[in-house]
């Protein structure tokens, strides 16, 4: 595996500035028209790659028909700035003519309309039209996952060029649109000179790069990556997954749309075969080569493949053919490598998948190595030796910052479950279960494996739909709400088999927990307004504050990928992520599983301290010493029913519990 060195921030800025100067100067210092044209094409591919990277790389939605949106943007400009549509002139068109959108051709009754919508206007309009198609196509299909989505998008990618071939009135069929008007700037027409397109292409890529970059670092980008990593956990952490997938799809489509307008303005023609499947595949290979989810990787991949196609293959052709002459091989003499580019793309895809899945410019940072002292540092407790006092020192700011902790109407129980029944096919996981959790209490749920404990959590948080029964939280019915809505009401959870977002850092995971509380919209994110920046800064501070609850366990590891953490630390990050959602009710599913006794007790002390924040806790726990230490009340489940309820001591002494659970302990725990 090749390990590329990671440049520092200053090196990156220097490199960027140098590239920019070289690019600006290239046409001026006598770059040939052909080379300038190749770079302008590379810009179009880079723009496409940046867009597809949002869909596939950020949000993890495998789109095999991306060129469809490229086509839609292209034809939008082509139709609105060519002689393709020529309706009869009528006074209706007069206002459009005064705006310069159309011109009158001919005179009298034979006069027709010539569409002349400006290129500059069509750049955003093509993007918007493609985005609209993205929404229209995505809304019904984005519920599909993985392979199914790939197949449906493949179909869409086929359909659009077919429609273009078979709708001659609009597209001039297979012959393609001709006479598409070139862009004009202050009356000067770009014509067929490659140089102005070159500069527009660079500006376009620079703009889209900035957009992709800002989005990635925002709450929207983090939500996309959360969906990519684990859609169920993303939804449970408050992300409206179907809406955010749609936004990703529409944004990617908009990138392709604007690129389509640029690309065919440059060619001044558009034919359906410019948008066939190989184009979608080529853009996909570009982002795989660069590294899925990596913004620079997308550009790198696009430029590398364009260089390969436009410069390397023709040069190699010359060499192999000369070699063929020399050794008298007919095969080598006639070999045309440029026509084998699809084969080469396929080989690149296979090689990347086998040897370097992260791409050549990977998105994920390499783990920060901790110094030995940091690894082994004792847990800090804010200057106190008393764990709980130390914690409350850390925890106070959390309570102050929590807007959800407002006074509630006096309810007997913050959570009440009534006659809840959940079944999976023939299995009845919960049978008419009822229980109450008082506000501010810590209630433990214990029971043998398979007794329905996790199913209870899933039903409360909206991940499974019960057959019957009610769940009320702070006076509101939860059944029928989506998981993200339930989180927004103030119920956060952890999972028995840790569901973090593995390729994201500790701090990113905790930031995603705050998703429901962050407000930055697309405008604020793109313009990086002071308000957005302030919100991000506060969110980071809050995340760091929460992580400090666990002392030195996580603080030195903020930037590490969670997949690099120990099992116990991953559990801690998951609890921190849930706390970041500022819940009123916290559901912990076996939080100490996989921890040694010392770690379990440390965590139990920390959980007990959450109570000082006014948090109510429902905890599934197998370790009876932890249960005894923590809980006011214990509910014992067996085969989906409540077997017993009471204090830990009372439950431990209950003969029925001993028979069902404690008696079987060695086998079950
Ligand atoms: P616990 O958490 O108490 O160990 P669970 O709630 O995970 O138990 O499971 C209760 C029962 O429901 C088990 O028999 C389990 O196999 C079944 N079950 C849980 N989730 C599903 C599911 N998604 N599909 C089918 N069966 C399930
Ligand atoms: Mg379970």
**What number does the ligand 1 atom closest to the CA of 452 have?**
6
Assess if residue 165 is contained within a domain: yes
Domain span at residue 645 reads 414-490+583-669
Ligand nearest to the CA of 455: 1
| Of the residues 339, 355, 371, the one at which a domain ends | 355
Kindly give the distance from the C-alpha atom of residue 116 to the centroid of ligand 1, in angstroms, as a whole number.
63
């910052």: which residue's tokens? 401
What pLDDT is recorded for position 368? 55
Give the distance (Å) from ligand 2 centre to CA of residue 450: 7
Gap from CA of 481 to ligand 1 centroid (Å): 21
> Which chain residues have CB less than 5 Å from ligand 2, an ion?
453-454, 496
**Does ligand 1 come within 6 angstroms of the Cβ of 450?**
yes
Q: Looking at the CA of 429, name the nearest ligand.
A: 1
Q: From 266, 327, 259, 324, select the one nearest 67 (Cα to Cα).
A: 259
- pLDDT at position 374: 55
Atom of ligand 1 nearest to the CA of 422: 12
- The total domain count for the chain is 4
Q: What pLDDT score was predicted for residue 324?
A: 87
pLDDT given at position 664: 56
**Ligand 1 centroid from CA 172, angstroms:** 59
Residues ≥6 apart with Cβ < 8 Å to 501: 225, 226, 229, 230, 233, 234, 508, 509, 512, 562
Q: Are residues 440 and 552 in the same domain?
A: no
pLDDT given for residue 318 in this prediction: 86
Closest by Cα among 316, 291, 311, 315 to 301 = 291
The closest-lying atom of ligand 1 relative to the alpha carbon of residue 640 is: 10
Let me know if residue 406 belongs to a domain: no
> Would 225 be classed as within a structural domain?
yes
| CATH number (domain holding residue 306) | 1.10.3470
- Residues 442 and 605: beta-carbon distance below 8 Å: no
Confidence of residue 517 (pLDDT cuts 50, 70, 90): very high
My answer on whether 92 and 125 are in the same domain is no
The yes-or-no verdict on residue 667 having pLDDT over 50 is no
One domain, residues 289 and 344:
yes
Is residue 375 over pLDDT 90? no
Domain boundary among 571, 592, 617: 571
Residue 97 in any domain: the answer is: yes
Decide if pLDDT at 412 tops 90.
no
| pLDDT at 400 exceeding the cut of 50 | no
From 550, 571, 592, give the residue that closes a domain.
571
Best of 232, 450, 456, 460 for a ligand 1 pocket test (most atoms within 8 Å of beta carbon)? 450
Residues 180 and 288 in one domain: yes
What Å distances lie between residue 538 and 98, 530, 545, 573, 583, CA to CA?
A: 50, 12, 10, 19, 18
Whether 49 has a pLDDT exceeding 90, the answer reads yes
Distance of CA 669 from the midpoint of ligand 2 (Å):
12
Q: What is the mean pLDDT of residues 213-235?
A: 97
Looking at the domain assignment, is residue 14 inside a domain?
A: no
Pairwise CA distance, residues 300 & 359, whole Å = 10
191 and 305 share a domain? Answer: yes
Q: How far is CA 559 from CA 471, 499, 555, 556, in A?
A: 38, 18, 9, 8
Distance 629 CA to ligand 1 centre (A): 27
Cα separation of 556 and 368, whole Å? 9
pLDDT of amino acid 321: 86
The pair of three-digit structure tokens given for residue 494, joined into one six-digit string:
């952890």
Task: Give pLDDT tens digits for 340-374.
Answer: 888 888 899 899 989 888 899 888 765 555 555 55
Strands (E), 75-141: 102-105, 112-115
Residue 20 lies in a domain: no
Q: Which of 417, 421, 427 maximizes ligand 1 atoms within 8 Å of its Cβ, making it the mutation to test the pocket?
A: 427
Q: CA–CA distance from 336 to each of 277, 311, 340 (Å)?
A: 22, 14, 7
For residue 589, give the ligand 1 atom closest to its CA: 2
Phi and psi (nearest 5°) for 471? -130, 120
Within this chain, do residues 479 and 515 fall inside the same structural domain, yes or no?
no
492 Cβ partners below 8 Å, 6+ apart?
Answer: 237, 513, 578, 579, 581, 583, 585, 586, 587
Ligand 1 binding pocket includes 452 (Cβ within 6 Å): yes
User: Does 304 map to a domain?
Assistant: yes
- Give the ligand 1 atom nearest the CA of 457: 6
At 662, is the pLDDT very low, low, confident or very high (cuts 50, 70, 90)? low
Residues 250, 184 share a domain: yes
Residues 102 and 126 in one domain: no
pLDDT in tens, 143-191: 887 789 999 999 999 999 999 999 999 999 999 999 999 999 998 999 8
Residues 6+ apart with CB under 8 A from 211: 526
Mean pLDDT to the nearest integer, 424-450: 94
- Quick check: 606 pLDDT over 60? yes
pLDDT over threshold 50, residue 209? yes
Enter the tokens of residue 15.
């490199």
Are 37 and 141 members of one domain? yes
pLDDT band at 253 (very low <50, low <70, confident <90, very high): very high
- Backbone phi, psi, residue 51, to 5°: -70, -45
pLDDT at 397: 35
Average pLDDT of the chain, as a whole number? 89
74-91: per-residue pLDDT in tens?
Answer: 999 999 999 999 999 999
Whole-number pLDDT of residue 563:
93
Work out the average pLDDT over 444-452. 94
Residue 222 CA: distances (Å) to CA of 293, 341, 427, 464, 505: 11, 35, 37, 25, 11
Summarize the confidence of residues 50-57 as an average pLDDT: 97
Residues 437 and 551 both lie in one domain: no
| Cα(65)–Cα(159) distance, integer angstroms | 9
**Is residue 600 predicted with pLDDT exceeding 80?**
yes
At 622 the three-state DSSP class reads: coil
pLDDT tens for 579-589 read: 999 999 999 99
Q: What's residue 669's pLDDT?
A: 41
> What is the CATH classification number for the domain harbouring 438?
3.40.50.300
The Å distance, Cα 595 to ligand 1 centre, comes to: 23
Do 112 and 184 lie in one domain? The reply is no
Q: Are residues 76 and 214 in the same domain?
A: yes
Cα–Cα distance for residue pair 497/502, rounded to 1 Å: 13
Q: What is the pTM of this model?
A: 0.91
Within a domain: residue 210? Answer: yes
């Amino acid at each position: 595996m090749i390990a590329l060195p990671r440049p520092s921030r200053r090196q990156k800025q220097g490199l960027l500035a140098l590239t920019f100067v070289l690019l600006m100067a290239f046409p001026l210092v006598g770059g040939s028209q052909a080379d300038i044209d190749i770079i302008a094409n590379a810009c179009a591919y880079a723009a496409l790659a940046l867009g597809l990277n949002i869909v596939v790389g950020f949000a993890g939605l495998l789109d095999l028909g991306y060129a469809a949106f490229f086509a839609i943007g292209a034809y939008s400009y082509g139709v609105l700035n060519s002689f393709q549509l020529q309706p009869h002139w009528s006074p209706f068109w007069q206002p459009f003519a005064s705006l310069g959108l159309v011109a009158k051709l001919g005179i009298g009754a034979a006069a027709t309309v010539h569409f002349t919508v400006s290129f500059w206007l069509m750049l955003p309009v093509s993007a918007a039209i493609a985005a609209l198609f993205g929404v229209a196509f995505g809304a019904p299909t984005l519920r599909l996952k993985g392979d199914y989505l790939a197949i449906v998008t493949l179909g869409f990618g086929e359909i659009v060029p077919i429609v273009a071939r078979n709708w001659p009135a609009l597209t001039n069929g297979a012959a393609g649109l001709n006479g598409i008007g070139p862009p004009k700037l202050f009356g000067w027409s770009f014509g067929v000179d490659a140089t102005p397109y070159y500069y527009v292409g660079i500006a376009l890529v620079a703009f889209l790069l900035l957009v992709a970059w800002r989005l990635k670092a925002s709450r929207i980008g983090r939500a996309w990556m959360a969906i990519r990593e684990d859609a169920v956990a993303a939804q449970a952490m408050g992300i409206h997954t179907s809406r955010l997938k749609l936004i990703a799809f529409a944004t990617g489509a908009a990138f392709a749309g604007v690129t389509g307008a640029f690309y065919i303005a440059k060619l001044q023609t558009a034919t359906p075969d410019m948008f066939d499947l190989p184009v979608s595949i080529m853009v996909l290979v570009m982002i795989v080569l660069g590294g899925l989810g990596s913004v620079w990787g997308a550009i790198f991949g696009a430029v590398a493949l364009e260089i390969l196609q436009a410069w390397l293959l023709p040069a190699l052709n010359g060499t192999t053919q000369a070699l063929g002459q020399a050794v008298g091989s007919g095969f080598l003499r006639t070999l045309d490598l440029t026509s084998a580019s699809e084969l080469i793309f396929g080989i690149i895809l296979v090689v990347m998948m086998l040897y370097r899945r992260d791409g050549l410019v990977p998105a994920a940072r390499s783990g920060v190595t901790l110094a030995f002292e940091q690894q082994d540092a004792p847990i800090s407790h804010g200057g106190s030796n008393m764990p709980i006092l130390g914690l409350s020192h850390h925890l106070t700011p959390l309570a102050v910052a929590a807007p959800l902790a407002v006074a509630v109407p006096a309810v007997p129980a913050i959570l009440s479950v009534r006659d809840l029944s959940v079944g999976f096919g023939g299995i009845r996981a919960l049978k008419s279960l009822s229980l109450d959790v008082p506000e501010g209490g810590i209630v433990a749920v214990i029971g043998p494996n398979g007794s329905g404990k996790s199913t209870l959590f899933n039903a409360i948080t909206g991940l499974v739909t019960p057959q019957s029964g009610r769940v009320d939280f702070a006076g509101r019915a939860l059944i029928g709400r989506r998981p993200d809505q339930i989180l927004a009401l103030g119920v956060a959870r952890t999972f028995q088999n840790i569901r973090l977002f593995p390729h994201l850092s500790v701090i990113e995971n905790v930031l995603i927990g705050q998703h429901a509380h962050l407000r930055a919209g697309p405008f604020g994110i793109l313009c990086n307004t002071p308000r957005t920046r302030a919100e991000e800064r506060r969110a980071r501070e809050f995340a760091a504050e929460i992580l400090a609850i666990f002392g030195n366990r996580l603080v030195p590891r903020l930037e590490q990928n969670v997949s690099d953490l120990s099992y116990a630390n991953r559990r801690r990050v998951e609890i921190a992520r849930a706390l970041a959602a500022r819940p009123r009710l916290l559901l912990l599913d076996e939080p100490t599983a996989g921890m040694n006794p010392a770690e379990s007790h440390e965590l139990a002390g920390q959980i007990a301290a959450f109570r000082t924040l006014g948090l109510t806790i429902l905890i599934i726990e197998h370790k009876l010493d932890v249960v005894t230490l923590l809980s006011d009340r214990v509910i014992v489940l067996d085969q989906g029913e409540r077997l017993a309820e009471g204090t830990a001591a009372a439950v431990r002494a209950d003969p029925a519990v001993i028979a069902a659970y404690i008696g079987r302990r060695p086998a079950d725990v």
